[in-house]
Amino acid sequence: MATEIALLVGLKLSGQKARSAAALISAEESLEELAVLAATAGATVADRSIQTRPRAAAATLIGSGKVDELKTQVHFHDASVVIFDQELSPTQQRNLEKALDVKVLDRTQLILDIFARRARTREGQLQVELAQLNYLLPRLTGHGAAMSRLGGGIGTRGPGETKLETDRRRIHQRIQAIERGLERVRGGRTTQRQQRQAVPLATLALVGYTNAGKSTLFNRLTGAGVLADAKMFATLDPTVRHIVLPSKRHVLVSDTVGFIRNLPTTLIRAFRATLEEVVESELLLHVVDASSASAEEQTAHVLATLNEIGPGETPQILVLNKIDLVPVELVRGQPDTAALARRILGDPEHQPAGAVAISAATGQGFEELLQKIDQTLAVDPLAECAFRFPVGEGGPLHLLHEHARVIATRYDERYCYVDAVAPASLRRKLKRYALAHR
């Protein structure tokens, strides 16, 4: 298929109430990121423009005058798609497609398209399709004709034309079928996790902004051979491998999908099974592209997303990656990691457990990172605890008997109650069954 010619459009709100100071992001910087996303989706960006308005136009987002100017650019560049950096309402998207007579996408649809390209496993494909259908459902009115006219390209992968042209009832039925399929996948993932927990090991998760170098670091840590390239969202499906720390302890490491500004909520919900690997981890390796001019803003966004999905309080190590590309001050011949971390963190409320400067590509700082992981992981202290297990769930009870000292057991018609002395890692894994100790 021929490369699509794309025009990018951003909106800068000049009104005082347009944005809070804390959320202020350069429109130019955001549009630059959109250009990278477009290239990842296979488009050639011919031009980009930013419209400044006191508020968004209800009908077209950017106003009729800018739409006329954009139509001229479409004809001049022979563009086949116009991509907006903001999320468009169904009405805005229909009005813009009618006025411009080309395909119109927003940032969310572009990200969904990239995810559709990247999904390799059945789980990932189901997650992407679910997110796309939930996003496109309110946009079905009048959208089928547009899809038929366009006949493919960016924004049409995944569910595809035939599904989009069915009625709402069949779309809802498909969504329900996908959700049932994902529940089965989650059940299988839970089983895999329980099998790993049969020999309780500490679990680490790599998190960070997309394209920060997580997969490259994961490969260096584990030798897993996971795809790592310069395009965004190279990793969608989680991969779990074990590594051995300098103390000879074995731990599990998982690589996860990268975060990004304005990550669609439909994707966050759909990728719940993937993000469970983050939520269940004892330690997060927060990988930051230290060479990026946007490192501080990207780091703040990842921390905010972690707080949103659950593991905001989990201990973190700030992994300052690509240090070989950063001109930093040296302390006794080594990078001044503390100064670099302070600059990138901007003194946030949630300080990490530590910071390490590395280059995943060259191996610089790799041994120091392993030592930091070893030092940060708890030594698994024991404590008295009480649990309540449903009578039909023998797996968690067996896990407790295998890896804890059981003091007392009693039953009623529905539950098994157990008092035990258990290590912290096991208590975390069984926290859903925990009772306040009496």
Residue 379: predicted pLDDT: 67
Q: What percent of the chain has pLDDT over 90?
A: 28
Decide if domain 201-376 falls under CATH 3.40.50.300.
yes
Residue pair 19/56 in contact by the 8 Å Cβ criterion: no
Instruction: Give the chain's mean pLDDT.
Output: 79
Judge whether residue 145 has pLDDT over 50: no
Structure tokens at 79: 């563009």
Tell how far CA 316 is from the center of its chain. Answer: 17
- Residues whose CB is less than 8 angstroms from the CB of residue 276 and which lie 6 or more positions away in sequence, other chains included: 186, 189, 193
pLDDT band at residue 312 using 50, 70 and 90 as cut-offs:
low
Residue 385: predicted pLDDT: 92
- Residues whose CB is less than 8 angstroms from the CB of residue 281 and which lie 6 or more positions away in sequence, other chains included: 203, 204, 205, 254, 311, 314
Residue 195: predicted pLDDT: 61
Contacts 24+ apart (CB under 8 A), 39-42: 39/231, 40/114, 40/231, 40/232, 40/233, 41/110, 41/113, 41/114, 41/117, 41/154, 42/3, 42/4, 42/117, 42/154
Per mean pLDDT, which of 111-120, 139-148, 153-162, 279-288 is the most reliable? Answer: 279-288
Residue 317: predicted pLDDT: 93
| 103-138 pLDDT per residue, tens | 999 998 898 888 887 776 777 788 788 888 888 777
Measured between alpha carbons, how far is 309 from 201 in angstroms, rounded to an integer? Answer: 23
Residue 386: predicted pLDDT: 95
Measured between alpha carbons, how far is 4 from 7 in angstroms, rounded to an integer? Answer: 10
Judge whether residue 234 has pLDDT over 70: no
Residue 179: predicted pLDDT: 86
pLDDT band at residue 43 using 50, 70 and 90 as cut-offs:
very high
Q: Which residues of 349-375 are buried (b: 16+ CB within 10 A; e: fewer)?
A: eeebbbbbbbbbeeebbbeebbebbee
Strand ranges across the sheet with 316-321:
239-244, 250-255, 202-208, 283-289, 316-321, 354-357
Question: Considering only 3-7, 14-18, 23-27, 37-41, which range has the smallest mean pLDDT?
Answer: 14-18
Measured between alpha carbons, how far is 148 from 258 in angstroms, rounded to an integer? Answer: 33
Residue 148: predicted pLDDT: 44
Residue pair 10/34 in contact by the 8 Å Cβ criterion: yes
pLDDT band at residue 326 using 50, 70 and 90 as cut-offs:
confident
Q: Which residue has the higher pLDDT, 140 or 354?
A: 354
Residue 412: predicted pLDDT: 93
Q: What percent of the chain has pLDDT over 70?
A: 75
- CA–CA–CA angle 387, 389, 392 (5° rounding): 165
Tell how far CA 303 is from the center of its chain. Answer: 12
Residue 21: predicted pLDDT: 34
Residue 25: predicted pLDDT: 59
Question: CATH 3.40.50.11060 occupies which residues in the chain?
Answer: 1-186
- CATH class, range 1-186: alpha beta
Residue 150: predicted pLDDT: 44
Question: Considering only 3-17, 134-148, 298-312, which range has the smallest mean pLDDT?
Answer: 134-148
Judge whether residue 193 has pLDDT over 80: no
Judge whether residue 51 has pLDDT over 90: yes
Specify the 3-state DSSP secondary structure of 433.
Answer: helix
Question: Considering only 58-62, 258-262, 301-305, which range has the smallest mean pLDDT?
Answer: 258-262
Tell how far CA 181 is from the center of its chain. Answer: 21
Measured between alpha carbons, how far is 236 from 161 in angstroms, rounded to an integer? Answer: 24
Q: Which residue has the higher pLDDT, 341 or 334?
A: 341
Q: Write the Ramachandran bin of 6: left for phi over 0, alpha for psi from -120 to 50, otherwise beta.
A: beta
Q: Which residues pair with 355 in a beta bridge?
A: 318
Structure tokens at 220: 């260096």
The predicted model gives 184-188 an average pLDDT of 73
pLDDT band at residue 15 using 50, 70 and 90 as cut-offs:
low
The predicted model gives 251-268 an average pLDDT of 75
| 72-94 pLDDT per residue, tens | 999 999 999 999 999 899 899 99
Q: What are phi and psi of 144, to 5 degrees?
A: -60, -40
How is residue 325 annotated by DSSP? G
The predicted model gives 132-159 an average pLDDT of 61
Note the pTM of the prediction, 2 decimals. 0.70
* Helix ranges restricted to H, 249-403: 265-270, 272-279, 295-309, 337-345, 366-376, 394-403
Residue pair 427/385 in contact by the 8 Å Cβ criterion: yes
Question: CATH 3.40.50.300 occupies which residues in the chain?
Answer: 201-376
